[in-house]
C-alpha cells in the first residue's frame, strides 16, 4: 500500500508567494525559490504551485520563473495557472514539471483535459475542482468568464476523470485558509464515486485534521496555511512535520 501524501500547496501572485483566506485577502508569505529550498531540506512528499491570477488576467504561465522553480525543486512538482492549450502544457512538461493542473481551461472545455492526457498520460493531469458550501448545498466555484456553466460539482469531477484526468484536487473554498479542519463530508462524497486519487485541500490546521481527511476517503492532503503560519498571530514560519509525526 502506498504511503499517503502530505502536500504543500503554494499560491503564486506574480513572482511572489501569497496565502489566501477563502480565496480572498492574499497575504505575502515569501519568495517561491526560498520556500522551495526549505521544503527540499524538509524532504516533503511533493509540491503544488498554483498561479492564482494567470487565467483571470489572460496570461500564459511564467515559463522563466517555472524553469527556475523546477530546477530548484527536488520533489515532484505540480503546476497550475494560465494553461489553456496543449502548447502551454508541453512547455511546462519540458521544463521538468511532472503534473499539469487544469481548472479554468477544463471548465471551458474538457477536450483540453483529454488532449493533455492523451499526450502525456493521465498520471500527468490533475483537474482542480473548487467547491463552496452555501447553506446545506455544495456548489461548483467557477470563474465568471467560464463559458460553460456546470450545475453540479460532482458531475464536473466525474466528467473530468472520464476525459482523462488522473487526479482530482478538491478544494473546499469555504474552509480554505481558515485552519479549522477539512470538510470531511465533501471528501467522502467525492471519494465514494471517483476512480482516481483524490487530493483534499482547504482547512488543515493540525495533524488530526490530516488524519480525519484521509479517514474520510482522501488519498492525499494538500495544505497551505498549515505549512506557512505559526501561532495565534499567524507569523510566517515555513514548516513541515517530521517523519516521526508523519508516517501514514
Antiparallel, parallel or unpaired: β 220-223 and 16-21? unpaired
Sign of CA dihedral 157, 169, 129, 82: negative
User: Up-side HSE of residue 91: CA atoms within 13 Å toward CB?
Assistant: 15
Report the chain's terminal Cα–Cα distance, integer Å. 10
Question: Which of 57, 161, 26 has its CA nearest to residue 106?
Answer: 161
Active site residues: 130
Question: CA–CA separation, 37 vs 17, rounded Å?
Answer: 14
Q: Are 8 and 222 in contact (CB under 8 A)?
A: yes
Q: Which residues of the chain have pLDDT under 70?
A: 1-3, 144-149, 233, 243-248
How much is the pLDDT for 147? 56
pLDDT for the residue 1: 36
What pLDDT does 97 receive?
97
Q: How far apart are CA 192 and CA 210, in angstroms?
A: 18
Domain 5-236 top-level CATH class: alpha beta
Cell of 243: 517523519
- Using one digit for the tens of pLDDT, what is the confidence trace for 212-234? 999 999 999 999 999 998 777 67
Beta carbons within 8 Å of 119's beta carbon, 6+ residues apart: 86, 89, 90
What DSSP string describes the chain?
-PPPEEEEEEEEETTEEEEEETTEEEEEEE-HHHHHHHHHHTT-S-EEEEESSTTTTTPPP-HHHHHHHHHH--S-EEEESS--SHHHHHHHHHTT--EEEESHHHHH-THHHHHHHHHH-GGGEEEEEEEEEETTEEEE---TT-SSPPS-HHHHHHHHHHHT-SEEEEEETTTTTT-S---HHHHHHHHTT--S-EEEES---SHHHHHHHHHHT-SEEEESHHHHEETTTTEE------TTT---
pLDDT of 245: 59
Contact 115, 156 (CB under 8 A): no
The CB-side HSE value for 189 (13 A sphere, CA atoms) comes to 14
Residue 246 backbone dihedrals phi, psi, to 5 degrees = -130, 100
What does the pLDDT read at residue 81? Answer: 95
Residue-level pLDDT at 227: 92
CB atoms within 10 A of CB 59: 13
Amino acid at each position: 500500500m502506498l504511503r499517503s501524501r502530505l502536500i504543500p500547496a503554494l499560491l503564486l501572485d506574480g513572482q511572489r508567494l501569497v496565502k489566501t483566506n477563502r480565496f480572498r485577502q492574499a497575504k505575502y508569505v515569501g519568495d517561491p525559490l526560498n520556500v522551495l529550498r526549505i521544503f527540499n531540506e524538509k524532504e516533503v512528499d511533493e509540491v503544488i504551485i498554483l498561479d492564482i491570477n494567470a487565467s483571470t488576467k489572460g496570461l500564459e504561465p511564467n515559463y522563466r520563473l517555472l524553469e527556475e522553480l523546477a530546477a530548484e525543486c527536488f520533489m515532484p512538482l505540480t503546476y497550475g495557472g494560465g494553461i489553456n492549450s496543449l502548447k502551454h502544457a508541453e512547455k511546462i512538461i519540458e521544463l521538468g514539471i511532472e503534473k499539469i493542473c487544469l481548472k479554468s481551461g477544463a471548465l471551458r472545455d474538457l477536450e483540453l483535459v483529454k488532449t493533455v492526457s492523451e499526450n502525456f498520460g493521465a498520471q500527468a493531469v490533475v483537474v482542480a475542482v473548487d467547491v463552496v458550501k452555501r447553506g446545506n448545498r455544495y456548489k461548483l466555484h467557477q470563474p465568471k468568464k467560464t463559458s460553460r456553466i456546470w450545475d453540479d460539482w460532482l458531475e464536473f469531477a466525474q466528467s473530468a476523470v472520464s476525459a482523462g484526468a488522473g487526479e482530482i484536487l478538491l478544494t473546499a473554498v469555504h474552509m480554505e485558509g481558515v485552519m479549522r479542519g477539512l470538510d470531511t463530508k465533501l471528501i467522502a462524497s467525492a471519494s465514494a464515486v471517483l476512480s482516481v486519487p483524490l487530493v483534499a485541500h482547504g482547512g488543515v490546521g493540525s495533524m488530526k485534521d490530516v488524519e480525519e481527511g484521509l479517514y474520510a476517503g482522501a488519498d492525499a492532503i494538500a495544505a497551505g496555511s498549515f505549512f506557512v503560519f505559526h501561532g495565534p498571530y499567524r507569523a510566517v514560519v515555513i514548516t513541515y512535520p517530521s517523519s516521526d509525526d508523519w508516517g501514514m
